[in-house]
A and B are shown apart, each in its own frame.
Chain A
């Protein structure tokens, strides 16, 4: 087989030559369209007018490329003039226009300030003079800022270094600072001589630029559906992960916190889930580097890392989510779940800026799951024991004491004989325990971050380092992260720019086994809330030399297990990109980048013998698991951006990319315990499990060609079209290549002449798009290939190797396809005091990968086939308003998303697919219904004696006091056939609301989010809310209000504590997953108001409370979004609530 080394790193030169050939080729294509059209100080302005001076200047403002800043006497401007200029320079025109008007002008870059004659030059020394410097938020000086004394026409503009001086300023004056694209500011002079001002960008400034795939675009010209996260608040809010910050922030971007463990990846779902068995997570692109898509497994974990792991949120400049196919299709076969574009901070030309951020605080469990407390547990234990006793010995009495019972039974039996100590005063020798209190703690968090940025014309840099140290709110849980970043861009020559972004990081997480089935949180909740002192009490129960309590569980104390178990994950990750950009001619760039994401992960697990097993057999267990993942991407693009005839703007990009991911996995499992409890490494293991110890490797390659053209006419009519052709090694031999096209249109109605009169309307833009994208997250790299499995045989007692196919090869296996229509409306009214957008989309995902049943005559039961179809549609609203803009500022932003989800097609016969682990299946995929609808038996009350005599349908040996279930199939008895669809997991709508307030240096923001209309099915109930639970294990507190007798029927939800009919999955474990939560309250104060030092350019102190208030309906667990066991919640821990104090300094 001939093999070529295709990685340019190693086979470089030849490819570079070829890239250059390509460049020349593309240059030829574009250059014949190019003709000169630009403005300059030297000239060529044509103008012929007969009107007022004001109108002439306005006309120049529109056509010359210069912007006029006018603070002058209006009367003069009404003067009629007749002008005719042919190929004249701006200087000539202004000199001519303003002669004899008493006005003068000053040109600074592209801004022209027109002021009363001589006011720019004159310094009137006898008056109070104020000097200062105006910069933007990153410290870069702003020239051309107008500074006016409020209520007068007197003013000035800043020079090229951003400096200004203004004379004759009364001591109590207010200065007004204004600049195009920036928020105007009013500052009281208060007797100061120097006022430095930092101006912030208008968030909806017309020039705002946003990242799109392979480039940037003016926000005003966007025609697809792109959600933006305002990354500024990443610096103002202490969060540990970027995905955590995105919760509830963007319409259509549903971020689910499926785990309460620090450092764990969240699940992001853009516009509903569109895939049944393939990936549902978006593609992440960091600084143009598309990272390997990884999906959450059914345990809610990212086995081989999440793309956002170890990324320091403070390094992030902006986050954009491409939601519709038109925006995302440029990423082709990986785009159907949306694309998250993350841009990190870059240095800017100007003085170096050093910033230091520090925060510290604590976190604790956001809630306790309400379990029976010790008294309630005892009450239930007596109840169950007495019922058992009286049933077996009908002549006995429930008042019989220990000895009488032993005598009646003939021997001791703990199921019918309570511990006499329970009834004694102070229950001697028995500890009442709240296990959640025992395993929860207050965990400390602190974070230190230092960054420096700056630049000259030649070199721009941003470097940062960060250290995060967090103790979880559960014993034994810790998380530490060390990260650094250097983003450096060098202008090699006028034409060539090159840069390198490198971000090494290292994290250490310890999880002693907290979340999920049979993990310590599950155990803590399920353990009886009493232990005997003799058995070690809560802290040492059944560990070391302590055995179990006669009436106690056989588990080990979760406190001891958590404190002594090692479950350490160490991740060392380095993200690197290097790029070079060559500007061939004005507006035509060739760019090439090499990107490498390398992660080394090591997981060590060790649970010592003394906290394992039972007294007679305590054995340590351990394993060592790791992986190395490398994603290498080479991308080469040619891009072009030009405006022709001042009306036609064309920008285009074309390119190719080579994308390769390799994953090496290894694991070693110990068996038979360890030699001692002192050595935790596997060299001390008594044995190594052969079947669980191995290494594997997989690799996939994606090769793509792509292109996009944007065209706008007068920035009013907008068109964007893109296409991508992807070839993936994951696809079958007959379907290696897919093509993904998209088109979108936009119309800025507010720019039309007929809308000009609507003064209140600032922006109105209508958008429509269509596109096709794909999902190549097929679950594995080789799904289309018939793998061979070992099928050995023996001849004459000697083993021989046999190999046979384990699946049907599918040469047609391909991407899942997603087709999206999107309609959007952007609006801004009252000078953008109120602005927002509305989106409507219809998304149909077809060719979904399903393992469908096939006739066994193929040799197999099932085959992976592209066949299913799911439909999502929804509305999204984003609304921002500036309620108050004066000294007291109040801004509100709201997002609201509705999504409906429906299965349209499954296998060849559309047969429903049942799912859900443990006992019978509890969810269903059925045509016409939402995905994973809850499919269980419905509880309709508690069986009364009358019900039973009336022949109510029973499940098995049900009796009076047991739950009453609906006989849905009218068969006369209850069975799995009585299941019905009773809910769906995806919420109908989600929302987020942020209010920010600013007053005199104080700022306050309150962020609330929530979701409604979804249902969750808690398999955790199987542990803590089970019918027929014995007296031993603990249950949720609802069981305190159970049925006790016909006269004491409880609240009608929980039946008799003693039952023997077993259990069938029914609505008792079903909960609404509605919740609302005040996710974050931050209050800050601008210390600059107190510290007047030239050294410090910014200082803020703040306090943040996360997750302190909220409500949900999930009584059977801790986190309504938890996923940890077979796709459901079976022991998810609560979210953390935290209180954090922080300071930011900028020097």
Chain B
């Protein structure tokens, strides 16, 4: 009898029949591969999360003044309100990044050469995972400054004693992970099935971006800039990418965002989307341009959402409308015939992600196929120019050449003796709505001067915004939900309540 029950007691180890569970998973190369795919999956919300907490705060966008129930979540963010700790859009990137970090930590917890016996595959999977973990932490540092550091799987109880640590300490993990990734990852992939996977050069490019951010002036003691003077380190990495000859600028600006040119030589790292109802589509095109009427006008039928953020007049003005800047009309449309109301109207909307190719549209607003570029070769080149302008080795000619290549593609004439401000202005136009504007302003230390100059303007829509912002607006508040979990675990960022 005792024997009988002892035998039966193993029956108490039941595992789910109809769903996979961690207990029985992570035992083969394929399963580790699927877990790594799951880490990539966390990237899907990155474009819109980045849009709301960077572009919407920048001088490129504003919100229409609203009251009562028509106030949208992005309104107080755009308006630099200090009570946004409870805002869902402040919470999303925090949750999403840590979810990605947990997924990466899960892979790192289970991966071993016993399971993934092919050394190349092992290196790649480990490199991809480390890259992605660093990527999520870099996002956290940029958005929130000091954050808790979690580099393994933790339970709820354990997490209750993990406090926020200095930005510097987070950067240690980021740099280590990216350095490991550079060593582990291949330079390129031969199979088209691997298009979109991170490469050694993607890791180098993101690490260069990390160095640029670290080197920026420290306007906020808990902010992402440490005034570290690492422009040379960045330049070395960028030159390595350039010297590989694996990448080049496409001749046609629009093609960079064309479905048929996806995975072109312009792209160093992007977020991959596919439509067709597989849950692998993107939502960001319909969030960045959330004008239902516009979408219907161009023939897209699923519901998109409500009117939300508007493109600022400052941004239109930055494009020289008299000249033929191809990026202007490609990125934004000002005046269009609204087929729903039956007349033309001035209502600037972002057209960059929606309008080239109906094939990018999917079955609903979560199912767009267009990849979202995170690091373009043009950016690599322009970061090089930035490093040189910030004092890294190199010449003004190199800077001018890079900027003029970008201007030529846009249909603009050459300029010379390009300054950091001019470079920034060019980047603004080039990378509009790609989530670059705000971090560019932060890492160059121009954020307060540029924003305050804009906020001091007299446009009606600025009426809801403060007339100026101070350094506390450089980073966002810690989500209130996180602070509420345990008294005293996390303190709030300066300036927020």
Interface residues in chain A, defined as those with a beta carbon under 8 Å from any beta carbon in chain B: 2-4, 6, 14-15, 18-19, 21-22, 636, 656, 658, 660, 695-701, 703, 705, 727-729, 736, 781-782, 785-805, 808-810, 852-861, 863, 865, 908-909, 911
B94 interfacial by beta-carbon distance below 8 Å: yes
Contact present for B18 and A859 (CB under 8 Å)? no
Least CB distance from A707 to B in Å reads 14
B274 interfacial by beta-carbon distance below 8 Å: yes
Q: A797-B262, A802-B38, A853-B481 are contacts. A788–B272 as well, Cβ < 8 Å?
A: no
Contact present for A703 and B274 (CB under 8 Å)? no
Interface residues of B, CB < 8 Å — how many? 78
B496 interfacial by beta-carbon distance below 8 Å: no
Hey, which chain B residues are within 8 Å of A698, CB to CB?
A: 16-18
* Smallest CB gap from B192: residue in A: A796
B278 interfacial by beta-carbon distance below 8 Å: yes
Interface residues in chain B, defined as those with a beta carbon under 8 Å from any beta carbon in chain A: 1-5, 7-23, 25, 31, 34-44, 94-95, 98-99, 101-103, 105-106, 147-148, 150, 154-156, 158-160, 162, 192-197, 262-263, 272-274, 276, 278-280, 369, 479, 481-482, 484-487, 489
Contact present for A852 and B156 (CB under 8 Å)? yes
Q: In whole angstroms, what is the CA distance A810 to B157 when docked?
A: 11
Hey, which chain A residues are within 8 Å of B1, CB to CB?
A: 18-19, 21-22, 636, 656
Least CB distance from A2 to B in Å reads 8
Least CB distance from B104 to A in Å reads 10
Contact present for B38 and A804 (CB under 8 Å)? yes
Contact present for B160 and A795 (CB under 8 Å)? no
Q: In whole angstroms, what is the CA distance A786 to B24 when docked?
A: 10
Q: In whole angstroms, what is the CA distance A797 to B281 when docked?
A: 10
Contact present for B195 and A796 (CB under 8 Å)? yes
Contact present for A908 and B41 (CB under 8 Å)? no
Q: A698-B18, A703-B5, A801-B37 are contacts. A794–B156 as well, Cβ < 8 Å?
A: no
Hey, which chain A residues are within 8 Å of B485, CB to CB?
A: 853-855, 908-909
Hey, which chain A residues are within 8 Å of B106, CB to CB?
A: 804-805
Contact present for A787 and B38 (CB under 8 Å)? no
Q: List, sorted by A's number, 9 A–B pairs whose CB atoms are closer than 8 Å.
A: A699-B14, A786-B23, A792-B37, A794-B273, A794-B274, A796-B192, A796-B196, A808-B156, A858-B155
Interface residue from A18, A658, A787, A788 paired with B3 (Cβ < 8 Å): A18
Interface residue from A14, A793, A809, A859 paired with B40 (Cβ < 8 Å): A793
Interface residue from B23, B101, B159 paired with A785 (Cβ < 8 Å): B23
- With A791-B103, A803-B25, A809-B23 given, can you name 8 additional A-B contacts, CB distance below 8 Å? A698-B18, A796-B192, A802-B37, A802-B40, A803-B31, A855-B148, A855-B482, A858-B159
Interface residue from B14, B20, B94, B487 paired with A787 (Cβ < 8 Å): B20
* Smallest CB gap from B158: residue in A: A858
Chain A CB within 10 A, most for which of B21, B42, B194, B262: B21
Hey, which chain B residues are within 8 Å of A909, CB to CB?
A: 485-487
Chain A CB within 10 A, most for which of B22, B98, B194: B22
Interface residue from B16, B31, B197, B276 paired with A795 (Cβ < 8 Å): B197
Contact present for A795 and B14 (CB under 8 Å)? no
Hey, which chain B residues are within 8 Å of A791, CB to CB?
A: 37-38, 41-42, 103
Hey, which chain A residues are within 8 Å of B22, CB to CB?
A: 785-788, 805, 809
Contact present for A908 and B486 (CB under 8 Å)? yes
Q: In whole angstroms, what is the CA distance A483 to B196 when docked?
A: 63
Q: In whole angstroms, what is the CA distance A146 to B193 when docked?
A: 97
Hey, which chain B residues are within 8 Å of A4, CB to CB?
A: 7-8, 10
* Smallest CB gap from A8: residue in B: B4
Q: A19-B1, A804-B38 are contacts. A785–B280 as well, Cβ < 8 Å?
A: no
Hey, which chain B residues are within 8 Å of A860, CB to CB?
A: 99, 102, 156
Contact present for B16 and A787 (CB under 8 Å)? yes
Q: In whole angstroms, what is the CA distance A19 to B44 when docked?
A: 59
Contact present for A727 and B274 (CB under 8 Å)? no
Contact present for A798 and B193 (CB under 8 Å)? yes
Hey, which chain B residues are within 8 Å of A793, CB to CB?
A: 37-38, 40-41, 43-44, 272, 280
Hey, which chain A residues are within 8 Å of B481, CB to CB?
A: 853, 856, 861
The 10 closest A-B pairs by CB, nearest first: A859-B102, A796-B195, A854-B156, A802-B37, A22-B1, A804-B38, A802-B38, A791-B41, A794-B274, A729-B14
Least CB distance from B46 to A in Å reads 12
Contact present for A795 and B156 (CB under 8 Å)? no
Contact present for B193 and A796 (CB under 8 Å)? yes
Q: In whole angstroms, what is the CA distance A803 to B24 when docked?
A: 13
Contact present for A785 and B16 (CB under 8 Å)? yes
Contact present for A857 and B159 (CB under 8 Å)? yes
* Smallest CB gap from A809: residue in B: B22
Contact present for A782 and B38 (CB under 8 Å)? no
Hey, which chain A residues are within 8 Å of B194, CB to CB?
A: 795-796
Hey, which chain A residues are within 8 Å of B25, CB to CB?
A: 788, 803
Contact present for B156 and A863 (CB under 8 Å)? yes
Hey, which chain B residues are within 8 Å of A789, CB to CB?
A: 19
Hey, which chain A residues are within 8 Å of B101, CB to CB?
A: 857, 859
Hey, which chain B residues are within 8 Å of A22, CB to CB?
A: 1-2
* Smallest CB gap from A794: residue in B: B274
Q: In whole angstroms, what is the CA distance A998 to B3 when docked?
A: 60
* Smallest CB gap from A21: residue in B: B1
Least CB distance from B224 to A in Å reads 18
Least CB distance from A912 to B in Å reads 12
Contact present for A792 and B11 (CB under 8 Å)? no
Least CB distance from A643 to B in Å reads 29
Hey, which chain B residues are within 8 Å of A736, CB to CB?
A: 12
Contact present for B196 and A795 (CB under 8 Å)? yes
Contact present for A800 and B37 (CB under 8 Å)? yes
Q: A636-B1, A782-B21 are contacts. A855–B489 as well, Cβ < 8 Å?
A: yes
* Smallest CB gap from A702: residue in B: B12
Contact present for A701 and B14 (CB under 8 Å)? yes
Hey, which chain A residues are within 8 Å of B42, CB to CB?
A: 791
Least CB distance from A776 to B in Å reads 12
Contact present for A801 and B34 (CB under 8 Å)? yes
Hey, which chain A residues are within 8 Å of B160, CB to CB?
A: 854-855, 908
Q: In whole angstroms, what is the CA distance A18 to B43 when docked?
A: 58
* Smallest CB gap from B369: residue in A: A797
Q: In whole angstroms, what is the CA distance A697 to B487 when docked?
A: 42
Contact present for A696 and B18 (CB under 8 Å)? yes
* Smallest CB gap from A690: residue in B: B277
Contact present for B193 and A911 (CB under 8 Å)? no
Q: In whole angstroms, what is the CA distance A21 to B38 when docked?
A: 53
Q: In whole angstroms, what is the CA distance A697 to B14 when docked?
A: 12
Contact present for A854 and B159 (CB under 8 Å)? yes
